[in-house]
A and B are shown apart, each in its own frame.
Chain A
Amino acid sequence: MVRVLVPSGALGLGYDRTALQRGVAAGPDIIAIDGGSTDSGPSYLGRGVSKYSRGSTKIEWAGLIEARQEAGCPLVIGTAGTCGADSAVDWLVGITEEILRETGRTATIAVLKSGQPADVVQQALAGGRVTPLHPAPEISAEVLDDCTNIVALAGAEQINAALETGADIVIAGRTTDTAIIAALPLARGCHAGAAWHGAKIGECGALCATNPQSGVILVDFDDTGFTITPLADGAQATPHTVSAHMLYENSDPFILYEPGGHLDVTGAQYEALDPARVRVTGSDWVVAERYTVKLEGARRAGFQSVLLTLLRDRRYVENAQAWCDDILAKCRAKAEQRLGLAPEAFDLELRIIGRNATLGDIENRGGEAAELGVLGIVTADTADLVDEVAKMLNPYLLHHPLTVAEEQPTFAFPFSPADIPRGEIYEFCLNHVMQLDDPMQAFRLEVREVA
């Protein structure tokens, strides 16, 4: 049997310390935690940074390093620093060294990097070893050159290579969410379907149970199935909460693709062992003909500023759409004329908050609002151009009248300055897999002693 302790769905989200202590006392073989995902958008991968506070990350990570020491087992994190880019891995390695220094501890750290140089992916693309998933954006050598970061998602093989070094702590770049949990059970010969299925159920911590924010769970793997045990007070896993977790963030609740194959849970059986624990058997692992890893890339998509104005005058609230349409036409014309720009050189958008800012054209509910927000979004290729267009939009959002004859109105700006530069923006541009001859071919493993 292999016992995996999962402290929470992601480092930075917090975990229940009493429950973690129970997990340590239960004698885990490994402590595994996820460090991120694409869910917060392309900026983190684009910039290669973490979304969570360094202070929170350090406190939570220090707690896990202490738990590891006490349990005498390895600690592994996947997708370090939200995006798993090399720079985000270095960030967490730095925090780790700081913690070890400050607590006077020594440890061996294995660092697994997932970053892909553009030329490596370009060669793979040219060689027919990069395949689109559905739906995939068009890619080319140029698109890959535009990426500030490309990562490949490591699977169980790469995590096991890191664990085989005998390291106390494994800090991995981008991995699949499941790989860090499935790796050790697979290496020790547990049932492969159970290893991946239990990993999928466990990867969000206690989200597969009641009291989902409590975080800490144990997953026990063996040669026929796996057992889920939530550890916080009042947290219970039931066949319903566990099986329903396959729905979460999955486009297909029965099939999950991983490097080297796919998990099929169509035949899985969920059984309540007691009111809090669930036993799962009957999951299948289907080996693929080719070993592929998924790629993620974020490329530069220009610079952006936003402005917010608030309409409280009832006539303007009632006529907000016409007011916005008029501003867009006039401001676009002014920017084109005064800056000598082609229409496609910049993008100007006004979203009416309180009407349809969330859903846009597919919004189907109306209703009276006391006030509306108008969010101006200016995007262009350079920061200077964005700045110029945003400053041209500013007076319209402050004073634009519905009719020429009326006294000049003034709307509510919540801030000075009204324009808020968002800096450089990014977009995800890869939904592809890359074929490898050897699982370690696209990854780099380094071991360091911190004394």
Chain B
Amino acid sequence: MPELRDVVEKVRSKNAGPFWLTVDIFCGTAEAFQRVRDGISTERVAKLFGTDPAGMKRFDITSLNVVKFSLPRPAVQGTRRDRDMHGASWAALVAEMTLN
């Protein structure tokens, strides 16, 4: 099974303020968008991040071929338990998900 990174253009994650993290999957084409939209459940992403799926926001944006996830940061930005001040490394976990 391919990894998400083999199918999409780019996966980016970033802080959305100190309390939220947001992940943008730029699929590139309508075909890739459909595969990601149907192949990646919110529950799987929540499990990957060790968070509650009910607290996540998901946006499937057809016009941009983008799937976007936002979640409350598991550690508030810059607190002692935070390991990544800008939140950009979380994208790697999503990029390495296998696509059903």
Which residues of A come within 8 Å of B, CB atoms? 38-43, 133-137, 240, 243-244, 247-254, 301, 347, 349, 351, 357-362, 364-365, 377, 379, 425-428, 431
Contacts and interface: CB of A to CB of B under 8 A. Distances in A.
B78 A41 contact: yes
Contact of B78 (A134, A136, A349, A426): A426
Contacts of B26: 244
Nearest to B72: A135
B64 A243 contact: yes
Contacts of A431: 17-19
B18 A428 contact: yes
Given A301-B80, A347-B80, A251 B85 contact: no
Contacts of A135: 19, 72
A364 B93 contact: yes
Contact of B63 (A41, A243, A360, A379): A243
B32 to A, nearest CB: 15
A427 B93 contact: no
Contact of A39 (B15, B64, B83): B15
Contacts of B20: 251
Given A38-B77, A301-B79, A249 B18 contact: no
Contacts, number: 96
B90 A428 contact: no
B72 A134 contact: yes
Contacts of B41: none
B31 interface: no
Nearest to A244: B64
B20 to A, nearest CB: 4
Interface string B38-70: 000000000011100000010101011010101
A364 B86 CA distance: 20
Interface string B76-100: 1111100111100110110010000
Given A41-B78, A252-B59, 12 more contacts: A39-B86, A42-B18, A247-B22, A247-B68, A248-B24, A250-B16, A251-B20, A254-B59, A359-B93, A362-B48, A427-B78, A427-B80
Contacts of B19: 133, 135-136, 428, 431
B26 to A, nearest CB: 8
Interface SS of chain B: mixed
Given A244-B66, A358-B84, A361-B50, A249 B22 contact: yes
Contacts of A136: 19
B14 interface: yes
A169 B84 CA distance: 36
B16 A249 contact: yes
28 contacts: A38-B18, A41-B77, A41-B78, A133-B19, A134-B72, A135-B19, A136-B19, A137-B76, A243-B63, A247-B68, A250-B16, A252-B70, A253-B59, A301-B79, A301-B80, A349-B80, A358-B89, A359-B92, A360-B83, A362-B48, A362-B50, A362-B93, A377-B80, A379-B80, A427-B76, A428-B18, A428-B77, A428-B79
A42 B78 contact: yes
Contacts of B18: 38, 42, 428, 431
Contacts of A364: 48, 93, 96
